């Protein structure tokens, strides 16, 4: 049985929450390996809606162990608040069911403050961050000044780390003309949550290796999507971490060979939140229709998503870079009743054909999509659970996507309900 990594193949918001929940029934362990509480997953189970940000989707399933890996930047206040909220919905979370990497870096109250101050200073050149401190926390991590979960257990080390942190950030805040962060206040806030967070801390890499050796099936859950990857996405309009499947190993401490199947979650059209290039965006009635039908609002931020036609060039690139074995195609039902559908099958930049999404900022902004037009379908696909329930033109659309992105459809989702899923190939069976 293969361990499975689930990643987004577009700009995030592809419907990973439902698919991960669907797969978690077959898994023993669910692992988050990158990102922070800027990610959002919505699960609908037996008519009850769960909105998760930091917690892995497996937490709502009894008998599963959830893991937050070292590649995640953890906001303790957000995490504990989410634990309390889920407990209020009848889901008990304990140190036996949730393990947080003791070497994971923390998001502290100063990080959202910095995020806002820096974005304001950028003016018209804003990146469009969620303002939750994710970027500044990752900056601290790579600059080797981060405070990690394990530091909470050692007051002397913690004070030294806070001094080192504020030496840098207060100088930056002074330069921005913003108020500096008070050390005593920051330490007091950290101490308020230390005793609640530390029981969840564990050497996750060791625990996962033992689980793998014991034959447990592990599901690695990514956040955001391939085109928001800090290296391979639409830089600088990206997130602050690597979002592709290669990060599942580094971000959780398992060997790369432990990941057997990579499932790319792929929406049947395209959306993105915030600033940045979007070749197939439809700032018209089609874009409005997709947004309304697909309820395209961010789980975490509530921001309206930009909408457009399916971009096969972009997804094919995500398949190649991310080693995607197969895709889970979501929200096919949103396209029901649209008479004529378009799929981007190529790019032009300054009149020249371009077989890939370019790396250069100017080139990305000047990408022109080349479309192929396909016939739509009138029959509803919502709730379909077999190919036989799909109209022939919908099947033709799915098959053409497979050809263009050079990857097979392993699952097809036809509504937010977890059972409204057509299984073509079980990723855990590989």
Residue 68 confidence (pLDDT): 97
Tokens 């949730």 belong to residue: 98
Copy the structure tokens of residue 25.
Answer: 């029934």
Given a cut of 80, whether residue 261 has pLDDT beyond it is: yes
Lowest mean pLDDT among 19-23, 238-242, 366-370: 19-23
Global pTM value: 0.91
Please enumerate in sequence order all residues whose Cβ is within 8 A of that of 31, keeping only pairs 6 or more positions apart, or say none: 56, 66, 67, 68, 69, 208, 218, 219, 220, 221, 248, 252
Query: How many Å is the maximal CA-CA distance in the chain?
Result: 67
3-state secondary structure of 399: helix
Burial class (CB in 10 A: 0-12, 13-18, 19+), 380: middle
> For residues 418, 264, 11 and 64, what is the CA-based torsion angle, rounded to 10 degrees?
50
Q: What's the average model confidence in pLDDT over 105-127?
A: 82
pLDDT band of 367, cuts 50, 70, 90: very high
Q: For residue range 278-300, list pLDDT tens digits in order.
A: 999 999 999 999 999 998 976 55
- Tell which residue, 191, 186, 190, 187, has the closest CA to residue 113: 186
Please enumerate in sequence order all residues whose Cβ is within 8 A of that of 49, keeping only pairs 6 or more positions apart, or say none: 42, 43
Burial class (CB in 10 A: 0-12, 13-18, 19+), 177: exposed
Specify the DSSP class assigned to residue 150.
G
Residue 125 confidence (pLDDT): 65
Show which residues are catalytic. 13, 41
Given a cut of 70, whether residue 30 has pLDDT beyond it is: yes
């Amino acid at each position: 049985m293969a361990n499975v990594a689930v990643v987004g193949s577009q700009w995030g918001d592809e419907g990973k929450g439902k698919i991960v929940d669907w797969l978690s029934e077959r898994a023993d362990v669910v692992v988050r390996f990158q990102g922070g509480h800027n990610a959002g997953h919505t699960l609908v189970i037996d008519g009850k809606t769960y909105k998760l940000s930091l917690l892995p989707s497996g937490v709502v399933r009894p008998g599963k162990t959830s893991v937050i890996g070292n590649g995640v930047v953890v906001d303790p206040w957000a995490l504990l608040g989410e634990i309390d909220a889920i407990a209020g919905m009848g889901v008990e979370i304990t140190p036996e069911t949730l393990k947080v990497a003791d070497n994971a870096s923390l998001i502290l109250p100063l990080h959202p403050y910095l995020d806002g101050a820096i974005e304001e200073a950028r003016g018209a050149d804003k990146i469009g961050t969620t303002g939750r401190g994710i970027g500044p926390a990752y900056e601290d991590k790579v600059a080797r000044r981060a405070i990690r979960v394990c530091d909470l257990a050692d007051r002397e080390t913690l004070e030294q780390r806070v001094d080192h942190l504020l030496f840098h950030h207060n100088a930056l805040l002074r330069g921005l003309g913003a108020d500096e962060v008070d050390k005593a206040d920051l330490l007091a806030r950290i101490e308020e949550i230390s005793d609640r967070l530390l029981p969840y801390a564990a050497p996750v890499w060791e625990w996962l290796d033992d689980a793998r050796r014991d034959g447990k099936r592990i599901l690695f859950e990514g956040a955001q999507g391939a085109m928001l990857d800090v290296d391979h996405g639409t830089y600088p309009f990206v997130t602050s971490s690597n979002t592709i499947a290669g990060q599942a190993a580094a971000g959780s401490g398992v060997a790369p060979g432990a990941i057997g199947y990579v499932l790319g979650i792929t929406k049947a059209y395209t959306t993105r939140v915030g600033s940045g290039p979007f070749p197939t965006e439809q700032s018209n009635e089609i874009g409005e229709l997709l947004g309304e039908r697909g309820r395209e609002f961010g789980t975490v931020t509530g921001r309206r998503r930009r909408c457009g036609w399916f971009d096969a060039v972009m997804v094919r690139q995500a398949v190649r870079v991310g080693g995607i074995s197969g895709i889970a195609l979501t929200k096919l039902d949103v396209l029901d009743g649209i008479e004529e559908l378009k799929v981007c099958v190529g790019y032009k930049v300054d009149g020249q054909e371009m077989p890939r999404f370019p790396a250069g900022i100017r080139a990305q902004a000047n990408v022109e999509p080349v479309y192929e037009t396909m016939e739509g379908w009138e029959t509803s696909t919502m709730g379909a659970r077999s190919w036989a329930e799909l109209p022939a033109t919908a099947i033709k659309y799915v098959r053409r996507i497979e050809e263009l992105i050079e990857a097979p459809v392993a699952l097809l989702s036809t509504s937010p309900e977890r059972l409204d899923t057509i299984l073509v190939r079980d990723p855990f069976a590989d």
